[in-house]
Amino acid sequence: MRPLQTIVCLLIASHLTSAVKAAKKAKRTAMPTWEEIGQAALDTFFEDVPQRLAKEFRSSHEAERLAQINSGDARPSELAVVDISSDELSCDFVVNQLLLHITQFKSIFYFLVNGWYLGQLGDYASCRTFTNNGQYVLATIKGDYTADYSFTRGSYGKYIPFSTQMGLCIPKQCSIDNVKANIEPLLLRYAQEAHWENPTVEYSASWQYVHNESRAFDTVKAVGLGVFGVCLLIVAIGSCVELSTIGDNPEFDKEVLKELNRFKSTDQYEAVIMQQKLPWARYFVALSAVRNINKMNLKPYQMRRTLQSKNLDRSLVPHLAVFNGIKAIACFYVLFASSFLFTWYAYLADPSQVANFKQSYSFLFIYCVYFAVSVLILTAGFLQTFNFLEQDAHEMFKPLNLLKFYAWRLFKFMPLLAMVLCFSLCVIPFLGSGPIWSLYAQVMAPCSTYWWTVLLQINNVYPRESFDEKCMPWAWFIPALTQLSFLLPIFVAIYQACLPRRTLIRVFFGVFLFICCAIAGGLTYYFDEGAMPVSIVNDNSASGVTNQLTTLKFDFYNDVFMLSPFHLGAYFAGFCLAIIYRRYLLESELNKSVGVANPNSVQISRSTRFFALLIENAKVRYTTYVVGTILMLATSFWVYPFMANAET
* DSSP alpha helix (H) spans, 1-90: 3-25, 34-58, 61-71
CA atoms within 13 A on the CB side of 637: 6
pLDDT the model gives residue 55 = 52
pTM: 0.79
* Whole-number pLDDT of residue 82: 60
With pLDDT > 70 as the criterion, what percentage of the chain qualifies?
79
Average pLDDT, the chain: 79
| Mean pLDDT, residues 160-181 taken together | 86
365-409: per-residue pLDDT in tens?
A: 888 888 889 899 999 999 889 888 888 878 888 889 999 999 988
pLDDT, residue 458, reads 93
Residue 519 pLDDT greater than 90, yes or no: yes
How much is the pLDDT for 104? Answer: 63
Whole-number pLDDT of residue 103: 60
**pLDDT at residue number 28:** 44
d(C-alpha 383, C-alpha 305), whole Å: 11
Stretch 544-555: mean pLDDT: 86
Residue of higher predicted confidence among 535 and 41: 535
The C-alpha atoms of residue 572 and residue 614 are separated, in whole angstroms, by 22
Q: What stretch of H or E contains 139?
A: strand 134-145
Comparing 10 with 493, the larger pLDDT belongs to 493
Residue range 66-109, pLDDT digits in tens: 545 454 444 444 445 566 777 777 888 877 777 776 666 566 65
Which residues have CB under 8 Å from 250's CB, separation 6+? none
Confidence of residue 482 (pLDDT cuts 50, 70, 90): very high
Inform me whether the pLDDT recorded for 338 exceeds 90: no
Average pLDDT over residues 433-456: 90
Distance CA 562, CA 461 (A): 7
Task: Report the range of poorest mean pLDDT among 107-111, 165-169, 414-418.
Answer: 107-111
Q: Give the pLDDT score at 520.
A: 92
Which carries the bigger pLDDT value, residue 306 or residue 91?
91
Rounded to an integer, what distance in angstroms lies between the CA atom of residue 427 and that of residue 500? 56
Give residue 626's pLDDT band: very low, low, confident or very high (50, 70, 90): very high
Domains of the chain, residue spans? 3-204, 219-301, 302-413+457-644
Model confidence band, residue 111 (pLDDT cutoffs 50, 70, 90): low
Residue type, 97: Q
pLDDT: which is higher, 545 or 254: 545
Is residue 144 within 8 Å of residue 198, measured between CB atoms?
A: yes
User: Which pLDDT does position 181 carry in this prediction?
Assistant: 86
Rounded mean pLDDT, 535-553: 84
Comparing 389 with 599, which gets the higher pLDDT? 389
pLDDT digits 0-9 by tens, 245-270: 888 877 766 666 666 556 556 666 77
Cα-to-chain-centroid distance, residue 3: 44
φ/ψ (deg, to 5) at 248: -70, 145
Higher pLDDT: 335 or 112? It is: 335
> Is the model's pLDDT at 51 over the cut of 60?
no
* Non-local CB neighbours of 645 within 8 Å, separated by 6+ positions: none
Residue 34: predicted pLDDT: 46
Mean pLDDT value across residues 281-285: 85
Nearest to 289 by CA among 237, 244, 231, 235: 235
Q: How much is the pLDDT for 74? A: 44
Position 45 pLDDT exceeds 50: no
